[in-house]
Amino acid sequence: MAWQRHVSQSIQLLYGCLQAEKGWPADPGLVLRTTAHHWQTRATAYARNSFLAAYSTFIDNTLVAVLQLLRVDDLFRRLTPWLEDSLAFLTRNWHYTADGNRIAYSLVNNAASDFSIPDQYDVQQLLHKNTLKGYDAASDYNPQTSHFLALCMKVVYEKELVIKDVVESWWGLQFHSYWQTGSDSFVIESDSGQRTFVPRTRAAVFCSEDAVILSFRGSEPTNLINLRSAGTISMLECKGMGRVHSGFYGALFNGDEEQGRLFDDLVGSIYSADAGKGKAIYLTGHSLGAALSLLFAAELHSRHSELAKRVAGIYAYATPRVGDAAFAKAFTDAFCNPERVYRVAHGADIIPYLPPKVLEYEDVGPEIFITSTGRVLFNQKDIKRAHKIEGWGFLPLYLYKLGRGLLGGSENPMRTLYRLLLLVTFPGLNDHFPGDYEAKLRKALKEGNIDQRQA
């Protein structure tokens, strides 16, 4: 009809004027599609944010009350020694100390109890002042240091006597101190009524003549409070650092930033181990422990800037995200110019990508990626490609690893059993084991399967 043609011509004329004035694209449909996509993206993000917020509210409040009422976490904590002893008895895998004591390995490490130093390096030489290059310059990623600190993050899952024996008898270092927040977990309740799980945190300090190493332990599989703390998504403001994960912050400060508690104890332990010699400092940890190593470093820079300058390297294995963009920027300014921090992720491990970025969390430092086949990647394009392979090929790779364990006998039978259990429960945690990180780095070091570092 004539009127429809006139309306169409008028709209085209009006759009032509707007196109000339505002630089709009020639295709009106493109504007509509772009606008629709924009609002669809915002709606999806809002829905996801609302769902996760509701989920967090339910977990952080309802589940806390249920766990406290039933004392489930206390029950699991009491069962852990029995489970460890039973597993050690069944597998005949015990740790024998230098003085002849027999101690069960942790549930995490029973399937990966090799704490030996490989032939590719010597610990004393690795930590010697002539090898360290000076901690005021870019330390750069060192495959030998990466593997040794992976051993350090793995051993802190063990009992204090095992840690001391491995550090002194196997590695020839000095075991200096061992810290924990106590035998009981607790809950912090804010003025708004929000409740935050605070985990039992453990850390160990050991040293050589020229270096001090602080290693944080990750989550225990039978500790519901630890697991819940790592899974929460709420953040709180931190002086001069942006917003940080409330559960991780509580683990270092127990809700009291002024007193510091564990943080101040650990700083004092570092000063004591240093003995006024100006030793290089290394920080490491796995999972929750990795997040704590990053947060500890940030607080060290804020409160003890001179001590923070001596941090030669931070190797964070399977670390979840710790804070928002402001925290990431402050951390980058402090420790990535020159580069001293490395985030190491493995295979299809889901933890390094939580909490999601849609909740305003950001990564810190460059990612080092270990593929399921054992390659160590640095180049970000290669890492993105590997992410796609690990993601789309998750099930085939999972079944391949499971079949290799069942038929090939190439891994500890308990590790294969863990794979079976996780396949029907939490498959995203299969590649999260600290022993897998350490074993893959050991294998890559032995075979030279490490890509050349590219800018």
What pLDDT shows up at residue 373? 83
Integer CA distances (angstroms), 122 to 211, 238, 450, in order: 14, 40, 19
Integer CA distances (angstroms), 350 to 150, 151, 308, 346, 354, in order: 19, 21, 30, 9, 7
CA distance linking residue 448 with residue 444, whole number of Å: 5
Domains of the chain: 1-69 (no CATH), 71-447 (3.40.50.1820)
What pLDDT shows up at residue 196? 46
What pLDDT shows up at residue 255? 45
What pLDDT shows up at residue 408? 66
pLDDT digits (tens, 9 = 90+) for 367-402: 999 988 888 998 888 888 888 888 776 677 766 676
| pTM score above 0.85 | no
pLDDT digits (tens, 9 = 90+) for 92-124: 889 998 888 899 998 888 888 899 999 989 998
What pLDDT shows up at residue 390? 80
Q: What residues in the chain have per-residue pLDDT under 70?
A: 1-69, 72-74, 130-139, 181-200, 220-233, 254-260, 393-394, 398-400, 402-406, 408-412, 416, 420, 422-428, 449, 451-455
What pLDDT shows up at residue 117? 93
In single-letter form, the type of residue at position 106 comes to S
What pLDDT shows up at residue 176? 93
Strand ranges for 277-409 from DSSP E:
280-286, 311-317, 341-346, 367-370, 376-377
What pLDDT shows up at residue 72? 66
Judged by DSSP in three states, 87 sits in helix
What pLDDT shows up at residue 15? 52
What DSSP line would sit under 325-373, residue for residue?
A: HHHHHHHHHHHBTTB-EEEEEETT-SGGG-S-GGGT-B--S-EEEE-TT
What pLDDT shows up at residue 406? 63
pLDDT digits (tens, 9 = 90+) for 420-441: 676 656 666 778 889 989 999 9
What pLDDT shows up at residue 442? 93
Beta bridge partners of 286: 317
CA distance linking residue 343 with residue 336, whole number of Å: 12
What pLDDT shows up at residue 326? 92
CA distance linking residue 374 with residue 445, whole number of Å: 10
Strands 341-346 and 311-317 turn out to be parallel
Segment (H or E) for 309: none
